[in-house]
Copies of this chain bind each other. A is one copy, B any other.
Amino acid sequence: MLRYAIVTPPVTPSRDEVLRVVAELGTPLPAALSRRERARQATVDEIKATALDLMREHATTDVRFTDIARVMGMTAPALYRYFDDRDELLSALIVDGFDSLGAAVAEAVRPLDEADLPARWSAASQAYRAWASAEPQMFALILGMPVPGYQAPEEGPTTEAAKAAMSQLSSLFVAAAQRGELRPPLIREVSVSMADCEKSKHDELCDVLPPESFQAMLQTWAMLHGFVSLEAYGHFDWMEPEARDALFRSHMRLAATASGLPVPPA
């Protein structure tokens, strides 16, 4: 039923692997990690990786400690040495999820010409979509209604990770604005509360983005997220894949047109 060999990574990863993971997590890397700490970190990673594998395999955001432990060749109570309870594991997975989504978008954009904003927008939105389609459970976990019973910690590291991931989107608008390629959006009326709120919460953006463009950016996110949500949860399954692709491209052209981003060629 469960394929032990496939999902079980090596118990003691290489030093490089550990360093990569540590760097990825943003830890300052205090000179070096003791042997024990490295082993512990590896186990934590293996738990998270196994949980993700099981989520993928069972197509659900529900993860049973029992299953994780069995796949890892351990017993369930041992996992409590690494995560106080299920919520803590989920929070860690959510942080990783935002990181993964942000990284996927960043990866897709990185090799492209910085001047080619239409291509960067296409690649970024396509990466968002592809990530959600490939990992609908993760997508549901971070941007949908999470697992029943799970209560997201307010203002925790999850919020940080979310902001970081979403900055991938805003940086596109900032780049366009700084290059002078950001047209005024289709909707230019901005309510007072909108302009005010922009000043209070995202001040780093209001220096470079006019309020109507900030508003357009949020609407762009909503457009992107709407399509991707509907697709990820199967509400576009009645369409042929090619039709979905075409609809998505068309949708993103619309988003760019409406928000003032440079429009990708048809």
Task: List chain A positions with a Cβ less than 8 A from chain B.
Answer: 60-62, 136-137, 140, 143-145, 147-149, 152, 162, 186-187, 189-191, 193-194, 196-197, 201, 215, 218-219, 221-227, 229-230, 232-235, 238-240, 242-243, 246-247, 250-251, 253-254, 257-258, 266
Query: Do B230 and A221 touch (CB < 8 A)?
Result: yes
Query: Do A223 and B221 touch (CB < 8 A)?
Result: no
Query: Do B145 and A136 touch (CB < 8 A)?
Result: yes
Query: Do B60 and A149 touch (CB < 8 A)?
Result: yes
Query: Do A60 and B191 touch (CB < 8 A)?
Result: no
Residues on the B chain within 8 Å of A266, using CB: 189
Residues on the B chain within 8 Å of A152, using CB: 234
Q: Per DSSP, are chain A's interface residues mostly helix, strand or loop, or mixed?
A: helix
Residues on the B chain within 8 Å of A197, using CB: 239-240, 243
In the complex, A143 Cα to B144 Cα: how many Å?
A: 10
Can you give 13 A-B contacts (C-beta < 8 A)? A61-B148, A62-B148, A137-B145, A144-B144, A186-B254, A186-B258, A197-B240, A201-B238, A215-B247, A222-B223, A222-B251, A225-B226, A254-B258
